[in-house]
Structure 1
């Protein structure tokens, strides 16, 4: 009898332990937000420096426009490297585990960011400084690809069916939060330092801050992902690396559709953050700190848009939501020349409207069609579709937009943004057709 009682007690204790170790979607969301906010802060620090600093510091031998275009070429290197980082670190995870993979990736990200912070300028090191900047940028891209932890996919799988849009948007909040922090810091430095002091040493401080935030994020994310409860839940959901060659053969259509489905959001992403700043700094006498302040306010509009996207998506469906806002992005594209070549009020209107619309669209862009992947492919498939979306939609956007606008006119920027919206609508239409056939 006593044996039965002790067995029952053990079973009760075990069930209580399992109940307490259950992970809620809110806990997963916290992990996603921490990781994405730190990554986006690092991302925007580099992006803003590419506009405000690197043309003068690393390409002083070129005119301002050409210096900015060269800086944007190096800016794109991270997006080119990102899919390779995903593939390399998936192999590391298969051999050494998720914690080792994440530790190495975030360590590489920290080294790359710190390397830029301490990097000698062209005046000190000549062309070698440009080479080192490119290498550190590639390191950032490889690290971002390798830092995929599967938490967004886990969040999507564990969210209540009637609130998937709401939980999907939570991880996207990292983008405006990261921009607000980076933009505010640069605005403060630009407004309080002389141009000479800012270009000599002031620009390095945001990279120091980014490095410090990365260190904190390393411990927070590793502690989260390495916990027994998270590990068990990831295994239960089969969120493990898949063979990339096998997945490429059997899932290439899903990867392509997934990458194109979010193209409108990613194309707009840099056209309201990086491009306006570069265009105004080259062709206007406006105060750069004022433009940054408007963009920080715009990031606040983006937060509102992202939150609203969760509510709208849960009511009307994610694909309907993405399609509707892709159409609005297409409409906005027609007003780029009028607004960006207009008065300060018109430029501000483009920035604020663009950020608000970006929030509505971007809020549901992550993993838009990753449900098409079988569970065994979802972990790797979600990472690669995101990498390709960023590469095609955003990686070259500042370079292409500024180059087209400077040499052919702002109307070509409209066409560039419109093409992203068209690709999104086509991909969503094809995805719906696939679902019907399947």
Structure 2
């Protein structure tokens, strides 16, 4: 096995994989993929229930919508198995192109699905199938984008390069929520529920075309090329991962729980609760989320820089401790119903999401060798999604109905404590060699 670390390889500034091209390709793909994913999350909080599950109370509609929301998180590990297999067998580039296509087609088609009033029970069935497709696509996206960045990163800069895929969610969410915010301001409630909510889904087709153009221009990563030359590829990466790297996979998944729980309770659940229970106008709450996600974007480069300087674990430990404490702010801040306090709560949660999420772009790939790295990083990332996000809005809805927001806050703190266990048990990876 070669002793020369790929992490020390400087990207060729004039070749296909120049630093600027790698940064943009890794960022633009995750931004588009997460735009697609968050479009559904926002729609689930606002209109999916009444349009596709019109029977029953508002609470029953919200719970049904959040069940369809969670379907994608069940699909995401399947996507990471599928795309991880090909990413570790045939390469990062072609697999990233395929994952973007699957996500884009699924999202665009959701915009065309008629509501329950038009085709009855077939409507939620089609919705669930396409939501499952979204999960498959996103399951294959993140791991490949993180590898594209980190396997091309200069020595000592993996955290910084791995930060750019982590910026994608902030920009994707801002674009998604910003578009919903504009529609909420310009359309009546009847127009928004009838056809306006479909517009963000249809816009996805244009964004995916842009992402495909960028990704088709990049070359394969040097780490994968070196693995080919050393003939290190395995026939079934997932089997090798589970038999030889099961513990790092589990610890990586546990570390991701806090990120997902913070984000989806601060966005999907809080949006639904704020509009339906606190009676905050929809445009107002969407506007507050747009402001808060800017703080998530600001926290991301700060945390990534700190992880290169001080290590992944110290940064994550500080962020997780703050996340545990933030659970106690939910009832007094969000529950107050006062716009400044609600905004403060959203800013705190999304800032901490940025702090804990940024180091993951480097940490998860660093846990695995090249021949299972795509699969391992993707599986850890998406198993964390099942634990921390798939049921988070649903559980939060149930807890809020039975015990109030203090119970939801306790749930956030417990989820963060689970991540703390994972981080404390894993090794420091900052100086690992990606060979």
User: TM-score over 0.5 for the alignment?
Assistant: yes
Q: Does 1:421 align with 2:393?
A: no
User: In the alignment, which residue of structure 2 is the partner of 1:257?
Assistant: 251
Match of 1:180 among 169, 174, 188: 174
Q: Does residue 1:236 correspond to 2:226, yes or no?
A: yes
- Give me the whole-angstrom Cα distance separating, in 2, the residues matched to 1:102 and 1:361: 25
**Aligned partners of 2:233 and 2:295: how far apart in 1?**
36
Partner of 1:5: none
Over aligned residue pairs, what C-alpha RMSD do you find? 2.4
Alignment CA distance shift 1:101-1:409 (3 Å): same
Aligned partners of 1:82 and 1:144 also within 8 Å: yes
Q: Which residue of 2 aligns with 1:334?
A: 328
1:282 aligned to which of 267, 272, 276: 276
Question: Is contact 1:176–1:299 with CA below 8 Å preserved after alignment?
Answer: yes
Find the partner of 1:212 among 181, 206, 212. Answer: 206
Larger proportion of helix: 1
Q: CA deviation at 1:95?
A: 7.5
Q: How far did 1:91 drift?
A: 4.5
The reply to whether residue 33 of structure 1 matches residue 27 of structure 2 is: yes
Q: Is 2:196 the counterpart of 1:202?
A: yes
Aligned residues of 1:154 and 1:237 also touching (Cα < 8 A) = no
**Cα distance change on mapping 1:389 and 1:366 into 2, 3 Å:** farther
Report how far residue 79 of structure 1 moved.
0.9
Q: Aligned equivalents of 2:166 and 2:94: distance in 1?
A: 25
Offset of residue 264 of structure 1: 1.3
Q: When the two structures are aligned, how many residues end up with a matched partner?
A: 414
1:76-225 matches, cutoff 5 A:
76-92=70-86, 101-147=95-141, 150-224=144-218
CA distance in 1, matches of 2:27, 2:392: 25
* Higher mean C-alpha deviation, range 199-208 or range 238-247: 238-247
Q: How does 1:363-378 map to 2 (within 5 A)?
A: 363-378=358-373
CA deviation vs aligned residue, 1:84-109 (integer Å, no higher than 9, x gap): 12223344567876665444433332
Structure 2: distance between partners of 1:304 and 1:396: 27
Give the aligned partner of residue 287 of structure 2: 293
The answer on whether the counterparts of 2:49 and 2:64 sit within 8 Å (CA) in structure 1 is yes
Normalised by the length of structure 1, the TM-score is: 0.88
CA contact (8 A) 1:319 1:368 kept: no
Structure 2: runs of 5+ lacking an equivalent: 1-11, 431-435
Contact 2:333 2:345 in 1 (8 A): yes
Relative contact order, CA 8 A, sep 6+: which one is greater?
A: 2
Q: Structure 1 residues 434, 379: CA separation in 2 closer, same or farther (over 3 Å shift)? A: closer
* Match status 1:355 vs 2:350: yes
Measure how far apart 1:345 and its partner are.
Answer: 2.1
Q: Is residue 85–residue 142 contact of structure 1 (8 Å, CA) maintained in 2?
A: yes
Stretch moving more, 108-117 or 28-37:
108-117
Once residues 322 and 120 of structure 1 are traced to their aligned partners in structure 2, the CA distance between those partners, rounded to angstroms, is 44
CA-to-aligned-CA distance 1:13-51 (integer Å, 9 cap, x gap): xxxxx8843734443222110111101111111110001
- Report if aligned partners of 1:326, 1:424 keep a CA contact under 8 Å in 2: yes
Residue 185 of structure 1: CA displacement?
Answer: 0.7
Equivalents in 2 of 1:190, 1:223: separation in Å? Answer: 37
Residue 268 of structure 1 aligns to a residue in which SS? helix
State the 1:163 CA deviation: 2.8
User: Aligned equivalents of 1:408 and 1:35: distance in 2?
Assistant: 40
Measure the CA separation in 1 of the matches of 2:13 and 2:51. Answer: 56
Q: Give the Å deviation of 1:261.
A: 1.5
Whole-angstrom distance in 2 between the partners of 1:434 and 1:147: 22
Cα separation, partners in 2 of 1:158 and 1:285, compared to 1, 3 Å: same
The CA distance in 1 between the partners of 2:357 and 2:329, in whole Å, is: 20
- Which residue of 371, 384, 387 maps to 1:392? 387
**CA-CA distance at 1:348 after TM superposition:** 1.4
Partner residue in 2 for 1:11: none
Deviation at 1:212, TM superposition (A): 1.7
CA distance 1:391–1:25, change in 2 (3 Å): farther
Structure of greater Rg: 1
Matched, 1:58 2:48: no
TM-score by length of 2: 0.89
> Is residue 2:398 matched to residue 1:403?
yes
Asked if the contact 1:262–1:368 (Cα under 8 Å) also holds between the matched residues in 2, the reply is no
Paired residues of 1:334 and 1:414 also in contact (CA < 8 A): yes
Contact conserved, 1:78 with 1:142, CA < 8 A, in 2? yes
Aligned partner of residue 216 in structure 2, secondary structure: helix
Q: Is the 8 A contact 1:240 1:380 kept in 2?
A: no
Cα separation, partners in 2 of 1:149 and 1:359, compared to 1, 3 Å: closer
SS of residue in 1 equivalent to 2:156: helix
